[in-house]
Structure 1
Amino acid sequence: MVRHHRTSREPAGARTLSKELQAKGHRIGRYMARSLMREAGIASRQRRRHK
């Protein structure tokens, strides 16, 4: 999970990570991905708005 997060340059949140892992054949939901992200100490990086 941490590898997927880093390869996306860290904007990936629980929804994105769960969809990527599901595409690779893992059975994981959004809330499980969120829990695993908390355990691993990773958080999504929000993009700044362009003004």
Structure 2
Amino acid sequence: MWKLVVGFVVFAAIALYVISKAGDKIDMSGEKHGGDAAQHEPAPAAAPK
């Protein structure tokens, strides 16, 4: 049982370290809709034949 607790604490510490090092690169705010959504470039038009 103690191994399970130690494993959880180690995993949580690693996860918190990774999240803290990522800074603003991780967006934890959920789904985005409308203007907040990521902007994608339009697909290029097919070349004329």
TM range (shorter): under 0.3
* TM-score when normalising by structure 1: 0.25
The structure number with the bigger radius of gyration is: 2
